[in-house]
Chains A and B, each alone.
Chain A
Amino acid sequence: MRRLVILILAFTAAWTAVASPARAEKLRVVTSTTDLKALTEAVTGDLAEVDAMARPNQNAHDLEVRPSLMIKVRRADALIVNGLELDGWADVVAQGANNANVIPGAAGRIDASRGLGVLEVPKTRVDRSMGDIHPQGNPHYTLDPGMAPAVTQNILEGLARLAPQHRAAFERNRQQFLGSLEEAMGRWSKTLEPSKGAAVVVSHAQWIYFLTRFGLQQVGTIEERPGIPPTANHLVKLIGLMKEDRAKVIVAEPWSDLKLIERVGQDAGAQVAVLASAVGAMKGTDTYLATIDFNVKTLAQALK
């Protein structure tokens, strides 16, 4: 009995020693996407180690829940999610990570979409016959640089809950980032000004925020319904529509079926613009500003 008690005590002591290492100086933050990673880094600067779960050139809707993601989240102080059902898999990761800091309802769980003006919120009853539709609206708001102030504010508020001593530094970093963003925004608006009102077709319905911000019109999608590959009939109709609406550009993601999109583009007399669907998805898009810059320039070039 005495041996058993000693054994239990030794095990508990060892467990505690292993399980509670000295708290790191820096906040450990995990985000679901690389966009959120970039925006979080804009807020935290050097005060946090930020890691993303989804890879840049990965479709964030269908992420495979790997235990290696769980180990990222295992020691995180905060988990920042996109919300609006883009990254529902993050819940499964958080469950498997056994980290009470980031479970739903915990202080370290930050939803970056809170309070945003969400587009494409269904006004009527929705079901899966409409494809992989998001009942809370289109979740791809990070592609719109105009959303960055609100998104970074959400991130700041969430992180300041965990590290109130860094609030002022976070705010300074954020203001500095917003200054650069504002400057770039003027440039981007100017670049796309001549194309205002132009009709554009997208591969997957994830560009509405970006297009709306710069006054472009989305007139169709390659996917017949979200997440469902197109039928030949749909493509024939789409090509007709593109000719009618004079849609000169198809916006595609790096992970989409580029061969098919190229064929549609040829038939419709349109160019294909492969944009960075997330920070890091294309060469030279390692930061948030560089990503938007790349997308604006590529689209403007295609629309010429």
Chain B
Amino acid sequence: MRDIIALALMLVLALLVGIPPARAQDADALRREMEQMRKQFEAMQEQYKKALDSMSERLERMEKRPEPSAAAPPAPATPAPAAPPTTEMVTQQRPPGSEPSPLDLIKPREPFALYERRGAGQLLFDMGVTGDFVGNLTQHNVQKNQGGSFPGLENLFFPREVEVSFFGQIDPYARAEVRFEAEQDSRSGGLNVNLAEANLTLMALPYGTQLKMGLMRNRFGYLNPIHAHDWPFVDNPNVLQQFFGTEGLVESGFEATWVPPLPFYLEVLGGVFNGVNDVAFGRGQISDPLATGRVRTFFDLEDWGAIQVGASVASGQTQQQRSSTIVGFDAKYKYTPPGWQHAAVSVLGEYLLSFRDVVAANLAGIDQTRQRDSQGFYVYGGIQPFAHGELSKWLLGFRYDRTQYPAAPGTEWAVQPFLTYYPSEFLRFRLGYKQTTRSQCCSYLEFQDNGGSAKQVSEYFLQATFIMGAHPAHPF
């Protein structure tokens, strides 16, 4: 028993003495092993991170531009196009992918820094700037009367429309456009900056339909939806100016279009708007809306010629809550042979009819409401007889206007020859002369205000227009 106890004590002692070193050795080994594993893990983690980063980058690249699955691309034999002079701005670029600082964002010298730093195509929308400057010279009496084509801005050179526009897809279902405009609206030189358009279009609707909503230039007739810098002449045609005012028909509301699946092109449009036009539809509430409608179609007449015809209607209430309806018909013909940068021949015309309730005194001198019907039209023709060479940059145009006044008796008509010069697709100059004659019975328009007279108006125009950045393709 004593032996057993002694053996047990020895064993315990041995355990007590022997185990600690063994535990220490194991712990050290474990620590080393753990350290090694930790390092391996960290290394693997690093490797995985690198691999993941690389794969993410590749995935991103592939999503934008997947690797070719077949052909090997040819090796470039010539250098990239001549580089522009290196500027300070370029040398100050941050490394690709780094986020611009708030300071960078507000730097005035780098308006497109975000675009540049994200790389081409990475800005998720397009932006463009257009500038349209107009100068006009006319008689002093016309200036006093403010009876020129640019009322209140006679004998001035002024920014007619400087526009910053943003447009692009919102998501796979819709696109949007937002345009801000600055324009001079008085002789004092003050600029009027406003939101010219801001709208979205639902493009993924079924059965060939689209819905546009927001603030927009209404698709009434040919010219109204087009911004002034893209017009084929300097000034707004007289009939549109008299029927819709200097700004045209620009409204907030909804516009739906339908292109039925027919063998020929037909677009049907219907719209509902607040009605804030201060000349024709000033009711200004969607509950008593301005309703619009339009149909347009198009025919290829021969290989290089084509015609578009359309009919439009707009019906609402005036500021005085009286009924007002305008109906319009438009046609545009263009002949553009191969090689011509601009149409060799273009002809455009619009004819408008206005039916408006007005208050006028009857023979007994009592005010009574009656319908006033008026009409007007313009016809434009442009010719560009040269396909190539310096002369191909010049275009000769002519416009004839004739219109009645929608709310008063009287007529005015005008002729306008002009010459356009396009140094490039993005720059244009125009010189024009316009002679306007107004009938003697302009009681409503008072073209003898301020001691001046605007019954005979001779005007000389100079227009300079530029486009920077993105600009959508022009409509037919």
Q: Which residues of A pack against B, CB within 8 Å?
A: 15-16, 18-21, 55, 57-59, 62-68, 70-71, 74-75, 88-89, 91-92, 95-100, 103-106, 114-133, 135-136, 144, 146-153, 157, 178, 205, 208-209, 211-213, 215-218, 226-229, 254-257, 259-260
Known contacts: A16-B207, A98-B210, A103-B203. The answer to whether A66 contacts B473 by CB under 8 A is no
Interface presence of B96 (CB below 8 A): no
B74 to chain A, nearest CB (A): 5
Please, which residues of chain B bring their CB within 8 A of the CB of A125?
84, 87, 89-90, 116
B298 touches A67 (CB 8 A): yes
A217 touches B78 (CB 8 A): yes
A129 touches B84 (CB 8 A): yes
B75 touches A146 (CB 8 A): no
| Chain A to chain B contacts (Cβ below 8 Å), 23 pairs | A64-B334, A64-B474, A65-B473, A66-B306, A67-B298, A70-B259, A71-B298, A74-B265, A75-B261, A97-B208, A99-B208, A100-B206, A122-B80, A125-B89, A130-B81, A133-B81, A150-B71, A208-B78, A212-B74, A227-B425, A229-B389, A255-B338, A257-B389
B74 touches A153 (CB 8 A): no
Interface of B is mostly: loop
B82 touches A130 (CB 8 A): yes
Interface 1/0 per residue, B89-112 and A, CB below 8 Å: 110000000000000000000000
B90 touches A124 (CB 8 A): yes
B74 touches A209 (CB 8 A): yes
A95 touches B339 (CB 8 A): no
Interface presence of B264 (CB below 8 A): yes
Please, which residues of chain A bring their CB within 8 A of the CB of B75?
212
A60 to chain B, nearest CB (A): 11
B71 touches A212 (CB 8 A): no
| Additional 5 contacts, C-beta under 8 A, given A19-B261, A62-B341, A149-B68 | A19-B208, A68-B298, A122-B83, A147-B74, A212-B77
Please, which residues of chain B bring their CB within 8 A of the CB of A71?
259, 262-265, 298
Interface centre among A67, A133, A227 (most CB of B within 10 A): A67
B348 to chain A, nearest CB (A): 14
Select B387's contact among A20, A62, A96, A257, beta carbons within 8 Å. Answer: A257
Known contacts: A18-B261, A228-B424, A257-B388. The answer to whether A115 contacts B203 by CB under 8 A is no
B405 to chain A, nearest CB (A): 34
B76 touches A144 (CB 8 A): no
Interface residue total, chain B, C-beta cutoff 8 A: 78
A89 to chain B, nearest CB (A): 4
A296 to chain B, nearest CB (A): 15
B74 touches A213 (CB 8 A): yes
How many angstroms between the C-alpha atoms of A248 and B38 in the bound complex?
69
How many angstroms between the C-alpha atoms of A66 and B393 in the bound complex?
22
A124 touches B338 (CB 8 A): no
A122 touches B81 (CB 8 A): yes
Select B260's contact among A19, A130, A152, A260, beta carbons within 8 Å. Answer: A19
Q: Which 3 A-B pairs have the closest CB atoms?
A: A117-B73, A149-B70, A105-B172
Interface presence of B205 (CB below 8 A): yes
A253 to chain B, nearest CB (A): 9
How many angstroms between the C-alpha atoms of A149 and B74 in the bound complex?
13
How many angstroms between the C-alpha atoms of A135 and B392 in the bound complex?
27
B25 to chain A, nearest CB (A): 59
How many angstroms between the C-alpha atoms of A133 and B80 in the bound complex?
11
Query: Chain B residue with minimal CB distance to A228?
Result: B424
How many angstroms between the C-alpha atoms of A130 and B80 in the bound complex?
12
Interface presence of B209 (CB below 8 A): yes
Please, which residues of chain A bring their CB within 8 A of the CB of B171?
105
Please, which residues of chain B bring their CB within 8 A of the CB of A217?
77-78
Query: Chain A residue with minimal CB distance to B469?
Result: A128
Interface presence of B475 (CB below 8 A): yes
How many angstroms between the C-alpha atoms of A194 and B242 in the bound complex?
71
How many angstroms between the C-alpha atoms of A16 and B206 in the bound complex?
10
Please, which residues of chain B bring their CB within 8 A of the CB of A20?
207
Interface presence of B121 (CB below 8 A): yes
Please, which residues of chain B bring their CB within 8 A of the CB of A256?
339, 388
How many angstroms between the C-alpha atoms of A178 and B80 in the bound complex?
30
Please, which residues of chain A bring their CB within 8 A of the CB of B390?
229
Please, which residues of chain A bring their CB within 8 A of the CB of B339?
59, 255-257
How many angstroms between the C-alpha atoms of A125 and B76 in the bound complex?
20
Please, which residues of chain B bring their CB within 8 A of the CB of A104?
169, 172
Known contacts: A65-B473, A66-B298, A128-B468. The answer to whether A95 contacts B175 by CB under 8 A is yes
The A-contacting residues of B in range 319-345, CB under 8 angstroms, are 334, 336, 338-339, 341, 343
Please, which residues of chain B bring their CB within 8 A of the CB of A121?
80
Interface presence of B426 (CB below 8 A): yes
A68 touches B388 (CB 8 A): no
Query: Chain A residue with minimal CB distance to B257?
Result: A98
Select A119's contact among B65, B74, B259, B260, beta carbons within 8 Å. Answer: B74
B465 to chain A, nearest CB (A): 14
A83 to chain B, nearest CB (A): 10
The A-contacting residues of B in range 245-262, CB under 8 angstroms, are 257-262
B121 touches A136 (CB 8 A): yes
How many angstroms between the C-alpha atoms of A151 and B66 in the bound complex?
12
How many angstroms between the C-alpha atoms of A88 and B86 in the bound complex?
29
How many angstroms between the C-alpha atoms of A58 and B387 in the bound complex?
13
Query: Chain A residue with minimal CB distance to B203?
Result: A103
Interface 1/0 per residue, B158-176 and A, CB below 8 Å: 0000000000010110010
How many angstroms between the C-alpha atoms of A218 and B79 in the bound complex?
10
A70 touches B265 (CB 8 A): yes
